[in-house]
Amino acid sequence: MGAVLRGERKVTDMSVQSNPEIGRQITTGDIVTNYHDVGEGPALLLLHGSGPGVSAWANWRLTIGALSDRFRIVAPDLAGFGFSEVPDGIGYSRQVWLAQIVAFLDALGLSRVHVVGNSFGGSMALALAIAHPERVERLVLMGSVGVPFELTPGLDAVWGYEPSEETMGRLMRESFAYDASLITDDLVRMRYQASIRPGVQEKFASMFPAPRQRWVDAMAHPESEIRGIPHRTLVIHGRDDKVIPLSTSLTLLSWIDDAQAHIFGRCGHWTQIEHADDFARVVAGFLLG
């Protein structure tokens, strides 16, 4: 069966065709959330990372294509990212993003979902599992933030991004990817253009201003709360990640009782892109097994 698209208010067909990052829109409190709703099967919530110009589609396009024949995938742009619309003067915080996620699930009528969180999205997946354990079926944390660690030069560069095509190319090739040959000039140009859409850089710069160790700490959860997570959890990491250290996943593995880990060698921060087929196979096997 082909992929099934769902949603509340569809953006114009012309916009969808010209930019696949624009999906559907739904009201989630004070935020109008842009999201993708594809496929049939158990509901799977995908939470993206926090790179410059990121969106749910940019982060998860390969995963959506690989898993939409087995899952109903819902992938929102969190406030301040992608094409979600936020009110003027919004303050970005873990509490704001969590409220948006819960309102998003409520608006779609999804009482319980599998959750995959990437990097920053991993901290938000943890937040959902801790605050609303009844909403989570199984949990996948990939290169996840959410436990204490020392700010890496890679993450400092990502959160401190100042727009230029050269800087975007250096970030993608030196910080995100293990194999720089995967990063084409067209891909760099596309992500750079996404990072300079009107208002995007202003939002991004306001989220994680220097000194940035405080934002690592702000996205971390108390050890006791993580140890209390009852869900079956899969922890995934790229061994060669320069943005989020492998130690974070090893900490999560030791703190979450019902946890297992899959570490990809020759892999940086973009597991779902650098090892797209294997990543989808591992995640599907865990969620359906």
Q: Which residues are catalytic?
A: 119, 241, 269
Q: CA-to-CA distance for 139 and 106, rounded, in angstroms? A: 19
Number of Cβ atoms within 10 Å of the Cβ of 131:
17
198, containing H or E segment: none
201, containing H or E segment: helix 200-207
Structure-token pair, residue 155? 């993450």
> What is the phi/psi pair of residue 98, to 5°?
-65, -45
| Amino acid letter for position 136 | V
Q: CA-to-CA distance for 67 and 119, rounded, in angstroms? A: 20
70 touches 36 (CB < 8 A):
no
Helix residue spans in 25-55 (DSSP H): none
Residue whose structure tokens are 């982060």:
59
Q: CA-to-CA distance for 221 and 131, rounded, in angstroms? A: 11
Tally of helices (H runs) and strands (E runs) in the chain: 13, 9
Q: Judging by beta carbons within 10 Å of its beta carbon (0-12, 13-18, 19+), is residue 65 exposed, middle or buried?
A: middle
Q: CA-to-CA distance for 44 and 1, rounded, in angstroms? A: 18
